[in-house]
Amino acid sequence: MKLKCNRDSLLAAFGVVSNIVPARTPKPILQNVKLDASGNSISLMATDLDVAIRMEVPDIEVQVPGTALLPASRFGLILRESTDAQLRLEVEGQGTVIRGDRSEFRLAGGNPDEFPVIEGFHEERYQEIPARFFKELIRRTAFATDTENSRYALGGVLLEFEEQRVIAVGTDGRRLAKMEGPAISVGNHHSSDYTTIVPTRAMQLIDRALFDSDAEIRVGARGNDILIRSPRGTIFSRLVEGRFPRWRDVLPQRTNPIRIELPAGAVYAALRQASIVVSEDSRGIDFCFGDGSLILMASTADVGRSRVEMPISYVGQPITIALDNRYVADFLRVLDAERMITCEIESSESAALFSTDDGYQYVIMPMSKEH
């Protein structure tokens, strides 16, 4: 194998692929990225056996087709530290030589044929989804999952595919984030049995591998795994074992709740101020609505008190609810500052439901008065 490439282009792709390389593994070969060069492009491949990625890098001057194994950490350092605009890669003996105008590195490598096979996307049944929307869907749901609890099914995002839409849900048992939007079913692709749960880490890697400039992606859910095809590559992930909770039962069903319109950016700024005095043992913030204002109050015995007031349009019945400041901050952080949100409250003891006009809902359980 012998090729010449633009360093910046290779660095961008390698940075995405190497995110999947495990830091520790009983199989040392997995700490490499496989490079396959042919035509005028290369494919970069990595896997930890649960998640895998295959990314294409176009516009490469391939002089001799072939494959190579590149140690992820060392080769990544070379790409980041090099000051050369162009790099030349060539397999020599049992390793790879990387040459710039003023530098040369030789990295030992194993046999590329021993690297696990990473399949491409050959599905006939899949969902077509706008890439930008899918990235937003991940940002708005993955943070609400639980990656540490023994309830394994909560350690991922549930995806439900219907004929014209996709629904994503993440929960840790104390709050729930749900996002829905457009998705076109091809070949009668669907999934709504509470078992298409994509691990949180895989969803975050998918987010990094997608670009805002990508138009559509294809998502194919199978029995035990899922495949995502973007214009730049393919991502594979095993699904979380287990059955997701019946999340629709968690969404409040109310006949006459108090509805309050709020600007996301202003509430987030006020929340950050009120949270200055909270501690790990006392995270509750009192949200007091009424008389055209929202007052945020917090109190911690060994720290102090805070009171932050902001004007709002609500002038109805006064109501106060105590919420965990971290959970509210997580929700507001993934929204544009200009976004208007609707807060639905029935009482200080029932869940608060936040929603936006673009298919996003977020449920938070209230804290007890002893917070």
Provide the pLDDT for residue 228. 96
When pLDDT is cut at 50, 70 and 90, the band that residue 370 belongs to is: low
Q: Within a 10 A sphere around the Cβ of 81, how many other Cβ atoms?
A: 8
Q: Indicate the residue type of 242.
A: G
Provide the pLDDT for residue 18. 95
Name the strand (E) or helix (H) holding 226: strand 225-230
- pLDDT, tens digit (0-9, with 9 covering 90-100), for 114-131: 999 998 899 999 999 999
Provide the pLDDT for residue 150. 57
The CA dihedral of 183, 184, 189, 190, to the nearest 10 degrees, is 40
Provide the pLDDT for residue 152. 78
User: Residue 332 corresponds to which tokens in the numbers above?
Assistant: 């507001």
- Is the pLDDT at 371 greater than 60, yes or no? no
Q: What structural domains and CATH numbers belong to the chain?
A: 2-114 (3.10.150.10), 126-248 (3.10.150.10), 252-364 (3.10.150.10)
Does residue 343 contact residue 260 with C-beta atoms inside 8 Å? yes
* Partner residues linked to 219 by β-bridges: 127, 228
Task: Report the candidate in 60, 55, 54 with the shortest Cα–Cα distance to residue 87.
Answer: 60
Residue percentage of the chain with pLDDT more than 90: 84
Give the Cα separation of 123 and 334 in Å (integer).
Answer: 32
- Is the pLDDT at 81 greater than 80, yes or no? yes
Average pLDDT over residues 314-325: 93
SS3 362: strand
- Is the pLDDT at 141 greater than 70, yes or no? yes
When pLDDT is cut at 50, 70 and 90, the band that residue 268 belongs to is: very high
- pLDDT, tens digit (0-9, with 9 covering 90-100), for 221-241: 998 999 999 998 999 999 999
Give the Cα separation of 143 and 254 in Å (integer).
Answer: 26
Provide the pLDDT for residue 54. 96
Average pLDDT, the chain: 93
